[in-house]
Amino acid sequence: MIPVLEHLFPVKFSFALEAMPENAAEIEISSNPLQSRRPGSPGVFRIPRPKETPTDGKLFEVVVSFTDDPNVPFPFRGRSLQVKLAAQPKSLLLRGNATVLATCETRPVWAVTETSGVKHFESAFDLPNFDPDTTLKNVLNEQRFIEMLPLLSWLREICQQTAYEVPPLRACFMFDDPNLHWTRYGFVDFQTMADHAAMKNYHVVFATIPLDAWFTHEATARIFRNNSRQLSLAVHGNDHVKQELARDYEPSARVTLLRQATHRIECLEGKAGLSVSRVMVPPHGACSEEMLEELPGCGFEAACISHGSLRAHNQGKSWTRHVGFLPSELIQGCPVLPRWGLSGNVKNAVLLAAFLGQPMVFRGHHQDLKNGIELLDDLAEFINSLGPVTWSNMTDICRMNYQWRLEGDTFRVKPLGRKHVLQVPDQASQLVIEAGIQKDWDITGLNGDTVKARIGETVSLPKNVHRTILITAQSPLPVWPYIGETRTPVIAFARRLLTEGRDRLLPFSPSR
């Protein structure tokens, strides 16, 4: 686990027999309660001694209740959650001045003690077994995360002086496959969805298949044009065939596929009068590292793939071990935003994404709405209860995907993508772009001028500068031209027509 945590946090772990840096924080493995500490001693995180008998992989289901204490991280304060863990926690033996942060069946399982202004935390949860095949996402997901949460929260606490603010709360619902051939697609009625989204405050993205761009129904396009704050489109593969973006292609074949997809989308935009987000949503989540590498040069800002699918189709890649903690992943120069299903422990997924600063993108298919659009209404109400949430299309979500911190009057930005719209704090008079995708960036919006900057370079912000500016990576990547229409296999076209026909008839089938 240590290499994964060192990759994610600005920390270096050393062991008790090694020389310890001054003022370092400490992790103690003990079965005793926190002891009184001398003034000036480092902050401590105490965990139980691991059980000698290995578990058989079985997970226990428990309910953990968080107190409404400021030391409980947002957004878990005051909530009770059903979670899974590998071993039942024992009750903490607390001192009189300890503050309980979480309980399990009324037993305290997470607490903090403050001594001379220094906080010491204690968790009753065993840290998960992290064998060579374990990835972070195995133990940090909507079902199982409680064992890691106290540790991650403590690491944030001790790193807060150099910590970056995570992106603001962002969200959308996403449905794969629907096109603009008619005003409804299966159980999705576009106008009804737009009306509900406006009333309940949410946004729905439809990942549309470029192959379907051969026809656009004007009335359907008009619904999207008139409701752009509620409905939008992204790109869903190209022909939507099995493993389409995960096959072992020659580099030229990957480029040809992606450029055909963008050309088809450009034709769709021209006919429909719409703007389609250049975010690739691979069919069935299947996308290789090599295909991700080609996306930016073919005009895509990012990809959107679940953490599980990203790992499943790139097994053996070293970066898969630490996928799942950051607001987005950067794979071969391509930003990858996560998404989750509309089934399962969805509310836990919402809370975990909010804690990690990840966009809350919940995906499904039209069949998920067979019992009504209230599924989206109810989930949107829960998401909106977290605080101000930006519901928007995938382009805007991508461009808000950066981390920042204010150091005096210097606005330090860590880009997580290739293009970002920055909201500059009023007190900032200087801008520094820190480690990002490229070394060179264009900054626009500084009183109408475009300024070029390198990573680490200080850029002065005029006093009357507009507080919203755009930064764009000066990419050395080639922008591949479209080389002409390639032949779509007849079977792919026929399969898509049959699938669409099935989807459209499903709500009207006799069994319904």
Over residues 166-175, the pLDDT tens digits come to: 899 999 999 9
Instruction: Give the pLDDT confidence of 203-229 residue by residue, as tens digits.
Output: 999 999 999 999 999 999 999 999 999
Q: Are residues 382 and 410 in the same domain?
A: no
Task: Give yes or no for residue 433 having a pLDDT over 90.
Answer: yes
SS3 of 433, please?
Answer: strand
**Over pLDDT 90: what percentage of the chain?**
67
Q: Is residue 338 part of a domain?
A: yes
Tokens 């037993």: give the residue: 107
Average pLDDT, the chain: 90
Q: Are residues 342 and 448 in the same domain?
A: no
Instruction: Give the pLDDT confidence of 448-472 residue by residue, as tens digits.
Output: 778 899 999 999 888 776 788 999 9
**Which pLDDT belongs to residue 435?**
77
C-alpha to C-alpha distances, 449 to 99, 330, 445, 461, 467, nearest whole angstrom: 53, 29, 6, 12, 14
Q: Are residues 268 and 408 in the same domain?
A: no
**Which pLDDT belongs to residue 270?**
97
Residue at a domain's end among 345, 371, 399: 399
Q: Is residue 485 part of a domain?
A: no
Q: Is residue 312 part of a domain?
A: yes
**Which pLDDT belongs to residue 476?**
63
Task: Give yes or no for residue 21 having a pLDDT over 70.
Answer: no
Q: Name the β-bridge partners of 411.
A: 406, 431
Grade residue 32 by pLDDT with cuts at 50, 70 and 90.
low
Q: Is residue 484 part of a domain?
A: no
| Mean pLDDT across 164-183 | 96
Q: In degrees rounded to 5, what are phi and psi of residue 199?
A: -75, -40
Residue at a domain's end among 383, 399, 415: 399
**Which pLDDT belongs to residue 474?**
84
**Which pLDDT belongs to residue 14?**
83
Residue at a domain's end among 379, 399, 419: 399
Q: Are residues 368 and 290 in the same domain?
A: yes
Q: Are residues 197 and 304 in the same domain?
A: yes
Q: Are residues 334 and 386 in the same domain?
A: yes
d(CA 232, CA 294) in angstroms, rounded, equals 24
Task: Give yes or no for residue 293 having a pLDDT over 90.
Answer: yes
Q: Is residue 499 part of a domain?
A: no
C-alpha to C-alpha distances, 18 to 21, 45, 68, 336, nearest whole angstrom: 10, 18, 38, 38
**Which pLDDT belongs to residue 94?**
85
| Mean pLDDT across 393-400 | 97
Split into its structural domains, the chain has a count of 3
Please give the residue that has the higher pLDDT: either 238 or 12: 238
Q: Is residue 308 part of a domain?
A: yes
Q: Is residue 482 part of a domain?
A: no
Q: Which of 84-93, 148-157, 189-198 has the lowest mean pLDDT?
A: 84-93
Tell me, what CATH number does 293's domain have? 3.20.20.370
Provide the residue range defining the domain that includes 454: 402-473
Q: Are residues 342 and 360 in the same domain?
A: yes
pTM: predicted TM-score of the whole model, two decimal places: 0.92
**Which pLDDT belongs to residue 477?**
61
Q: Are residues 187 and 320 in the same domain?
A: yes
**Which pLDDT belongs to residue 487?**
75
Q: Are residues 250 and 265 in the same domain?
A: yes
Q: Are residues 7 and 125 in the same domain?
A: yes
Q: Are residues 218 and 135 in the same domain?
A: no
Q: Are residues 440 and 466 in the same domain?
A: yes
